[in-house]
Amino acid sequence: MEIEFTLNGVRKRVQVEPNELLLNVLREKLYMTGTKYGCGIGECGACTVLLDGEPVLSCLVLAADVDGREVTTIEGLARGEELDEVQKAFVEEGAVQCGFCTPGFIITAKSLLMENPNPSEEEVREYIKGNLCRCTGYMNIVKAILRAAGVIPQTP
């Protein structure tokens, strides 16, 4: 079956099978490999993307389901060479260790900040609880999100 959807602002038309998942189509048919395959069963959050502006797990969304809708992946956040505020904050706070969970965390953080531009540390921790970092670098991830929100001032 053919689906048509907007991926990072660009119209895409692609042939998919009914049993294909959004994650597989993004990575293997559209070569957007920023979104990661982690656990595959909705436990880890590595495959998080925005669907019509809301975070979803692309390993548990059928490709057929996004027909006519809008998908944003990690590749869609930067404007040209200019990183998004959340991406910059992750770099500045050293919130990336092996990096595999990072795209999922950044997409989730982006969604949090769109919903709640001034979250408390507790609200950040609650919102990211579905994203797992196996390097356990949570301290700096939380700091980075608070920094992107402007809660923590920029260190010189």
Partner 1 sequence: MSFGSPWFTLPEFTYHKPKTLKEALELLDKYGEEAKVMAGGVGLLAFMKERLMAPSHVIDLKGVPELGQAIYKEGEGLTIGATVTLNELARYGPLKKFGALHDAVRDIADPIIRNRATLVGNLCEAIPWVDTPPALIALGAEVEIRSLKGERRVPVKDFIKGPVEIDLEPGELVTAVHVPEPRRNSRSRFIKYNTGSEFALVSVAANVVMDGGRVRDVSLVYGAVSSTPQVAVKAADALKSAEKPWEVLDEVGRIASEEVEAVSDVLASEEYRRHLIRVLTLRVLREVMG
- Chain contacts with partner 1 (rule: CB under 8 A): 1, 17-21, 24, 37, 39-42, 45, 48, 54-57, 60-62, 64-65, 108, 126-127, 129-131
Q: How far is the CB of 79 from partner 1 (least distance, A)?
A: 25
Residue among 54 and 118 whose Cβ is closer to partner 1: 54
Residue among 70 and 92 whose Cβ is closer to partner 1: 70
Q: Where are the alpha helices (DSSP H) in 38-137?
A: 85-92, 102-115, 121-127
Strand partners, 5: 12
Residue among 8 and 108 whose Cβ is closer to partner 1: 108
Residue among 87 and 111 whose Cβ is closer to partner 1: 111
Residue among 15 and 91 whose Cβ is closer to partner 1: 15
CA pair distance 117, 119, nearest whole angstrom: 6
| Helices H / strands E in the chain, number of each | 5, 5
Q: How far is the CB of 153 from partner 1 (least distance, A)?
A: 27
Report residue 119: phi and psi, to 5°: -75, 150
Q: How far is the CB of 139 from partner 1 (least distance, A)?
A: 18
Q: How far is the CB of 113 from partner 1 (least distance, A)?
A: 13
Residues with Cβ within 8 Å of 41's Cβ and at least 6 positions away in sequence, in order, are: 59, 60
Q: How far is the CB of 56 from partner 1 (least distance, A)?
A: 6
Token reading at 30: 């559209």
Token reading at 19: 């049993």
